[in-house]
Structure 1
Amino acid sequence: MGRERNTDYQGRSSYIASKCGKDGKWRLYIIAAEGDKTEYKYFKALKTQYEQHFNLGNVHVEFIDRKEEEAGNSSPRYVYKTLLKFSEELKKQWDLTEYDELWMIIDTDEYDNRRTDISEIEQICRENPMYKLGISNPCFEIWLILHFFDLETGLQDAIPGNTEDITLKDYIQNQSIKQRAKYCKKLWNMIHQRQKQPSYVQLIEYIPQAIPRAKILGECNPNDPHYPQSKIATEVYKLLEKLTQLSMNVQI
């Protein structure tokens, strides 16, 4: 049996409208992701860790799912469609404002087979600033790695016992583009094990360290003719920086 999925868009929209009222004081952050497991666990942990802060700060964070039979449809296009379906239902019960944000968390992955999708989504974000793109090259796991290490850390230091004299960044970047996501996920799994497999709730505590490490890597720019070959980076930090700053402004 699969996990509980947040696919009752009408029900969740009603809940948001009831919870947030109509005074216009609340900010909504609606998130849809390409990954069906890791991203779900991460953002569920984020809500668990910061729920009280978010509520006191009039911030509502909602991670939405595709239906179970559509879980394998993980292309950027489906992430956008999921977000669009939810927002259309939400608009029936809630007036979205310029302060609300609809986030798409996607991967560069192999890129050639998703170049068009990513370009179209970037255009959507330019035309409607409510839509935001949190893209990672090659994949979301690069953001998770940054919770523990910057990418200039040696592989030997991150994974004691490993004999390769290479940085984490080069370990990923030296692979072919089609293999990078696979090796990035493998690297994350090894680091996670070496860190004694902390829960995702524990992982959330390292966001303040991950954000500056992500900034150092720079931005992903799919319009760059050398992308994704020359850039290992993630822009997921932009969402997490906003949410953690909002939570830190609340006195409990």
Structure 2
Amino acid sequence: MIKEKVFLGNREDYNKKLKYLAGLAQEEPWTFKNIEGKDPYRILRNYFHYTYDRLEEEGKIMVSPDGKYSCINTGLLTQYDQEIMAIFSRSEQPRFLPWYLIGFYRDTDRFFKERFTEVPEMADYFDDVNEVIFNRNLRIDMNTNHIIDDNLLRFQQAGYSEPEVIHALLKAAMDKVEKKLRRNFKLALPFYYHNTETDERKIQLLIPLYFPGAPVRLALVLDKVKGGQRDPYYLAITVLPVEWAYMNSRLIVRPDEEWAKIIEDADVDFDKFETVMS
């Protein structure tokens, strides 16, 4: 875990490094409008931390020949398609964390090239590309009562309190999103699910729920079910606040214009929700 291995600096210094990274990388949303003032890099910070953790898990953190530096491939590109590295310096103080974040560098920067002979690999989250692409030929099954009963608090936090109303809204939302998915499969975002208790790992898909007359506040989580007597199908298993959905999926893919608009319009109070990313 990055917080157990790397000293990132105090909040002000770390935000300066994230600001530099945001300016270096190709433009995209790196926070949510309702927290922009107090946390301008919420999405970017989450992306960087979980990317580091995944690269550590995969053994893809590169150490310089002299052992004084390490680096990772952030997976981000500059506007000129240069790869962006995070470089860390080894701590010489035993009581400190082993590494210190120096900053972010292009793969063409002298500071990087003088310390490393090659570009480290990016994080991988899947083996079969078909797992991350929505198959419009598969049906979506949803136990609506189960979804509502297990997630009533999340619906309430998003502004919907009556189960009967939620039931009707879910039906309308599914009718709309299924039409959209038939025309834009990229609307279903891949999400890497890792259950740390059972070590189960799989790709799930996240689709926005368009409730009539309101911004998108929730996303539906789809599991692909294979085997048994039925043909493969998607099973809707839970809902997530749309902010969580976006941050989860951003680890794998940069969402398209439709999702960028969803995030721009998102108005949920992010800090009301219990965290699922710990």
More helix by share: 1
Tell me: higher relative CO, structure 1 or 2? Use CA pairs within 8 A at least 6 residues apart.
1
Give the TM-score range, shorter chain.
Answer: under 0.3
More strand by share: 2
Q: Which has the larger radius of gyration?
A: 2
